[in-house]
Amino acid sequence: MMRRSVNLTAILLSGGLATLGALTQGGMTQAASVPKPVPTVASAEALDLLLVKHGGTVETHFAEANTSHDGHLTRLQAQQANWSRVAKRFDAIDVGHKGWISVEEIHDFNKLHRKHHDAAAA
């Protein structure tokens, strides 16, 4: 049984080498035989969608999350948009306890947080 498997391996190896030899003798190089990937260009809409989903600005996140388009983001809207950073800190951002926050309040919170973070790091 062992002898057959060795012979089968030898046959497969020699067949592979013969195929490789035929390819190189025929003038085809390895680089020419490997297909090159075709570059694709994403549409502008797809790129904009990625920026909103992964990164983007506070304004773009706010516009996406504020489904009522009234400039007032509620905690529920933040949660439904998976904007967890805002949803978790909603009470701290909503200093007037109105039940909604604006883009400006988010920026104010970020500025205040940065000042505290920078002071702690110093």
- What's the half-sphere exposure (Cβ side, CA atoms, 13 Å) at 45? 0
* In the chain, alpha helices (H): 2-25, 30-33, 44-53, 58-65, 75-80, 84-88, 90-93, 103-121
Model confidence at 89: pLDDT above 90: yes
pLDDT tens digits along 9-65: 444 445 544 444 544 455 544 545 555 554 444 444 443 433 335 568 999 999 999
Please tell me the predicted confidence (pLDDT) of residue 119. 75
Separation between Cα atoms, residue 23 and residue 30, nearest integer Å: 8
Query: For residue 101, which of 120, 83, 122, 115 has the smallest C-alpha distance?
Result: 83
pLDDT tens digits along 99-115: 999 999 999 999 998 87
Mean of per-residue pLDDT scores for the chain: 72
